[in-house]
């Protein structure tokens, strides 16, 4: 920790930035799930460098690039770019891009948490709520721009199903097996809020579909069903904004991730490991790389489908959501093993709510 006190970009009024109890709620269940995949790196060698600028750059690279157990997948990012530039096989570009997106999604969660040290809990929570499923949103936007509507539908549907069925089911199963003699508890109020939001989303999806199929002629219901669909999209986006206000301002205590004893083995409060502007720069850079790899995924998914003999719907519904959210899904299961169901439920239900209420309707508009 002495190295923190020597670095001016990590200081606030001469003291390191720490995660206090007052701004702890800026850490959502989504960011907490990714915490389980992070690892502490030694700063002994880097801190001995005489040049402050070089030391700052290397410390940032060490914390961001090597500060995760998924760092082994980071070489897939340049490999995918090289494969695209030199015209390698399209299926190889697809799989390398998917592997590269896995650590990027986890690092975005880490960086938004670091920025929350400086911006405060409200802005930090808003960043977590916005960037929680940025990979799915960017993939959907590129698929829409390429007029691949089926990929958009399948990938977003797969994200919702994987969160509600795969992640939640696996977390409950593993948590139950690991804690057979312990009563597992969770906050019902948080689960009720997310469940009601998902129910509202389901009703808004059903209305345009029922209106379309209830008409005597499909030609007569095309335009009215389109207007009804857009109106329901606006309602859902407004409901999601109200949900964010409910989560970050009025009832934020319901969504706090209880992580006592998880901050460190020695019980010390967490400190910022990168500066504010470094965090913003890394966040922009990570988003750019996610956009590049997402474009590769969209452009090569059909070629991968033909080469592997798998349908585009299978790749979009099953493979894309699992790989794109592997970090938070693994974290949710790990916390279920530790009998922290609130975090597991927050990841599964929270991510499904965000995709259903925000990402789907934003791309639809």
3-state secondary structure the chain: CHHHHHCHHHEECCEECECCCCCHHHCCHHHHHHHCCECCCCCCCHHHCCCHHHHHHHHHHHHHHCCECCHHHCCHHHHHHHHHHCCCCHHHHHHHHHHHHHHHHHHHHHHHHHHHHHHCHHHHHHHHHHHCCHHHHHHHHHHHHCCCHHHHHHHHHHHHHHHHHHHHHHHHHHHHHHCCCCCCCCCHHHHHHHHHHHHHHHHHHHHHHHHHHHCCCHHHHHHHHHHHHHHHHHHHHHHHHHHHHHHHHHCHHHHCCCCCCCCCCCCCCCECCCCHHHHHHHHHHHHHHHHHHHHHHHHHHHHHHHHHCCCHHHHHHHHHHHHHCHHHHHHHHHHHHCCCHHHHHHHHHHHHHHHHHHHHHHHHC
Domain that holds residue 168: 51-255+274-363
Q: Which of 110, 84, 111 is nearest to 97 (CA)?
A: 84
Quickly state the pLDDT bin for 289 (edges 50, 70, 90).
Answer: very high
In this structure, is residue 264 part of a structural domain?
no
Quickly state the pLDDT bin for 37 (edges 50, 70, 90).
Answer: low
Q: What's the pLDDT tens digit per position in 124-161? A: 666 766 776 788 888 888 888 888 888 888 888 888 88
Residue 267: pLDDT above 90? no
In this structure, is residue 260 part of a structural domain?
no
pLDDT score for 14: 44
Burial of 137 (0-12, 13-18, 19+ CB in 10 A): buried
Q: What's the pLDDT tens digit per position in 304-336? A: 999 998 898 899 898 888 877 777 778 788 888
Residue 197: pLDDT above 50? yes
In this structure, is residue 22 part of a structural domain?
no
pLDDT score for 77: 94
Lowest mean per-residue pLDDT among 82-91, 274-283, 356-365? 356-365
Calculate the average pLDDT of the chain.
Answer: 78
In this structure, is residue 5 part of a structural domain?
no
Q: Which residues contact 197 (CB under 8 A, 6 or more apart)?
A: 239, 240, 243, 353, 356, 357
Cα–Cα distance, 292 to 80 (Å, whole number): 10
pLDDT score for 13: 44
Q: What's the pLDDT tens digit per position in 63-75? A: 888 888 888 989 9
> pTM value?
0.79
pLDDT score for 8: 47
The average pLDDT across 171-191 equals 85
Say if CB 247 and CB 125 are below 8 A apart. Answer: yes
Q: Give the total number of structural domains in the chain.
A: 1
Task: State percent of the chain over pLDDT 70.
Answer: 75
The four Cα atoms 353, 358, 361, 365 give a dihedral, to 10 degrees, of 180
pLDDT score for 266: 43
Residue 120: pLDDT above 50? yes
Our CA angle for 70, 334, 129, nearest 5°, is 75
- In terms of average pLDDT, the best of 2-11, 109-118, 301-310 is 301-310
Burial of 164 (0-12, 13-18, 19+ CB in 10 A): middle
The residue ranking higher by pLDDT, 191 or 79, is 79
The residue ranking higher by pLDDT, 288 or 34, is 288
pLDDT score for 27: 56
């Amino acid at each position: 920790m002495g190295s923190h006190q020597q670095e001016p970009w990590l200081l606030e009024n001469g003291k390191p930035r720490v995660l206090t109890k007052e701004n702890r709620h800026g850490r959502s269940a989504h960011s907490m799930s990714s915490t389980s995949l992070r690892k502490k790196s030694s700063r002994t060698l880097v801190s001995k460098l005489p040049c402050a600028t070089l030391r700052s750059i290397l410390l940032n690279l060490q914390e961001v690039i090597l500060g995760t157990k998924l760092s082994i997948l980071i070489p897939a990012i340049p490999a995918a770019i090289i494969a695209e530039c030199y015209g390698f096989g399209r299926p190889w570009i697809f799989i390398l891009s998917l592997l590269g997106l896995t650590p990027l999604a986890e690092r975005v969660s880490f960086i938004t948490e670091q920025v929350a040290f400086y911006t405060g809990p409200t802005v930090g929570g808003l960043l977590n709520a916005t960037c929680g499923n940025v990979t799915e949103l960017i993939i959907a936007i590129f698929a829409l721009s390429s007029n691949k509507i089926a990929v958009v539908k399948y990938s977003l549907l797969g994200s919702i199903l994987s969160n509600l069925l795969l992640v939640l089911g696996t977390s409950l199963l593993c948590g139950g097996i690991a804690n057979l003699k312990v009563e597992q508890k969770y906050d019902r109020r948080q689960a009720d809020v997310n469940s009601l939001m998902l129910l509202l989303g389901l009703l808004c999806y059903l209305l345009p579909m029922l209106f379309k199929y209830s008409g005597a002629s499909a030609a007569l219901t095309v335009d009215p069903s389109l207007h009804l669909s857009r109106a329901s999209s606006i309602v859902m986006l407004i409901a999601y904004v109200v949900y964010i206000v409910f989560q970050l301002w009025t009832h934020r205590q319901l969504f706090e991730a209880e992580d006592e004893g998880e901050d460190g083995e020695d019980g010390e409060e967490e400190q910022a490991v990168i500066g504010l502007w470094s965090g913003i720069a890394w966040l922009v850079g990570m988003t750019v790389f996610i956009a590049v790899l997402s474009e590769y995924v969209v452009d090569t998914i059909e070629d991968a489908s033909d080469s592997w003999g798998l349908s585009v719907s299978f790749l979009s519904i099953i493979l894309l959501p699992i790989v794109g959210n592997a970090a938070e899904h693994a974290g949710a299961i790990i916390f279920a093993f530790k009998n922290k169901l609130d975090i597991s439920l927050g990841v599964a239900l929270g991510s499904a709510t965000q995709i259903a209420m925000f990402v789907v309707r934003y791309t639809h508009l």
